[in-house]
C-alpha cells in the first residue's frame, strides 16, 4: 500500500512548482519584459519607380493604452530612443487609450519632445474611436502630432525632395474608413504611405498608389508561448500579427506596439520601437540576383 503522506507531499511539491513558475513568469513579464522595449530596424524594399524615396526613415510606435497601465518611464525612454534614431517621419498608428483620456496629457508631454525632420503624425485606433475620438485627437494636435482621420497630406522626402502622400484611415473595427475618399484629389503619380490601425484589412487595399501600410493593434499577441506564438489575437489582427508582409505591389508593417492591455504583462513579445527605412534596389542587388 502506498504511503499517503508521501503522495500528499509529492502533490504539494508539484503544485508548488506549478504556481511558483507561473508567478515567476508573471513577475518577469510584468517587471522586466514589459518595460524593456526592443528597437526593430526594418528595411522596406521600394519598387524602381519610387526610388526617389530611398533612405526615408519612418519611426513607428503604437498601442500606448496610456490610461490603463501607463508607464511614463517606458514612454519617456522610448521617445528618447526614437529621437536617437533620427527619423524623418514619426507615425503613431493608434490606440493611445483603452477607456478614457486620463493619461493623454502625460502622453502628449512626452510627444512634445519628439524630433522628426518632416513631422509627427497619427491615426486613431479602435479604442480611441470607441471611447474619446475627439478628446484624443484634440490633445495630440495640441502636442504637435497631426491626426489623419480619413485624411491625407502631401510631403517631401528631406534628402531627395521626392514627393509622397501620408494618409491615415479611421479604425476598421470602430470607425468608417474610406480610402477612396481619403485619396481623392491627391496626385495620381505620388506614392502613398498609409496609417491604418488594424492590419488584416491590408488585403482589401486595391489602390496601386499605396506603397506601405503601417499598423499596430495586435500587440504581437502580447503574451506568447515559446515555439507557438500568440495565444490570443484581436479581431482584424489575426492574419498579420507582427513584422513585414506583402510584395512588390504593397507592403504592410505591423508593430508589436509599446504598451499593454488587459494584463500588465508581456511574455516572449517585448514592446517595440520600429524604424522602417525605405530602400530602393541597387544595381548591385539586381546583378546579384541575375
Q: Which residues bind Fe ion (CB under 5 A)?
A: 95, 125-126, 217
Tell me how far, at minimum, the Cβ of 64 lies from Fe ion, in Å. Answer: 11
Tell me how far, at minimum, the Cβ of 266 lies from Fe ion, in Å. Answer: 15
Give the nearer residue to Fe ion in terms of CB position, either 191 or 271: 271
Give the nearer residue to Fe ion in terms of CB position, either 95 or 200: 95
The helix (run of H) or strand (run of E) holding residue 72 is: helix 72-84
Tell me how far, at minimum, the Cβ of 151 lies from Fe ion, in Å. Answer: 20
Give the nearer residue to Fe ion in terms of CB position, either 114 or 172: 172
User: 104 in helix, strand or coil?
Assistant: helix
Tell me how far, at minimum, the Cβ of 147 lies from Fe ion, in Å. Answer: 16
By the 10 Å C-beta count (0-12 exposed, 13-18 middle, 19+ buried), 289 is classed as exposed
Tell me how far, at minimum, the Cβ of 5 lies from Fe ion, in Å. Answer: 53
Give the nearer residue to Fe ion in terms of CB position, either 110 or 217: 217
Q: Which residue has the closest beta carbon to Fe ion?
A: 217
Are 38 and 271 in contact, with CB atoms under 8 Å apart? yes
Q: How far is CA 33 from the centre of its chain?
A: 17
Rounded Cα–Cα distance for residues 260 and 275 (Å): 20
Instruction: Name, in order, each residue with C-beta under 8 angstroms of 265's C-beta and a sequence gap of 6 or more.
Output: 26, 29, 30, 33, 34, 222, 223
Tell me how far, at minimum, the Cβ of 197 lies from Fe ion, in Å. Answer: 6
Give the nearer residue to Fe ion in terms of CB position, either 85 or 261: 261
Give the nearer residue to Fe ion in terms of CB position, either 95 or 272: 95
In residues, how long is the chain? 290
- Number of other CB atoms surrounding residue 105 within 10 Å: 12
Strand partners, 275: 41, 59
Rounded Cα–Cα distance for residues 257 and 173 (Å): 18
Amino acid at each position: 500500500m502506498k504511503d499517503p503522506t508521501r503522495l500528499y507531499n509529492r502533490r504539494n511539491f508539484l503544485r508548488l512548482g506549478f504556481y511558483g513558475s507561473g508567478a515567476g513568469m508573471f513577475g518577469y513579464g510584468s517587471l522586466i519584459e514589459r518595460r524593456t522595449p526592443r528597437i526593430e530596424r526594418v528595411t522596406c524594399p521600394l519598387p524602381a519607380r519610387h526610388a526617389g524615396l530611398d533612405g526615408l526613415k519612418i519611426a513607428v510606435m503604437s498601442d500606448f493604452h496610456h490610461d490603463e497601465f501607463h508607464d511614463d518611464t517606458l514612454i519617456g525612454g522610448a521617445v528618447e530612443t526614437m529621437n536617437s534614431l533620427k527619423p524623418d517621419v514619426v507615425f503613431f498608428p493608434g490606440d493611445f487609450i483603452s477607456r478614457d483620456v486620463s493619461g493623454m496629457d502625460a502622453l502628449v508631454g512626452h510627444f512634445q519632445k519628439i524630433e522628426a525632420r518632416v513631422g509627427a503624425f497619427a491615426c486613431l485606433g479602435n479604442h480611441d474611436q470607441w471611447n474619446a475620438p475627439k478628446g484624443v485627437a484634440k490633445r495630440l494636435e495640441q502636442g504637435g502630432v497631426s491626426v489623419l482621420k480619413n485624411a491625407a497630406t502631401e510631403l517631401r522626402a528631406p534628402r531627395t525632395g521626392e514627393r509622397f502622400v501620408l494618409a491615415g484611415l479611421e479604425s476598421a473595427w470602430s470607425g468608417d474608413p474610406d480610402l477612396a475618399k481619403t485619396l481623392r484629389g491627391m496626385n495620381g503619380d505620388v506614392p502613398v504611405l498609409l496609417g491604418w490601425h488594424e492590419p488584416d484589412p491590408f488585403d482589401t487595399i486595391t489602390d496601386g498608389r499605396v506603397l506601405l501600410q503601417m499598423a499596430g493593434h495586435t500587440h504581437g499577441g502580447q503574451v506568447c508561448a515559446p515555439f507557438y506564438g500568440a495565444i490570443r489575437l484581436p479581431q482584424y489582427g489575426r492574419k498579420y500579427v507582427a513584422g513585414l508582409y506583402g510584395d512588390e505591389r504593397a507592403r504592410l508593417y505591423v508593430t508589436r506596439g509599446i504598451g499593454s492591455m488587459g494584463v500588465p504583462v508581456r511574455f516572449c513579445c517585448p514592446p517595440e520601437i520600429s524604424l522602417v527605412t525605405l530602400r530602393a534596389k541597387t544595381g548591385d542587388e539586381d546583378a546579384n540576383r541575375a
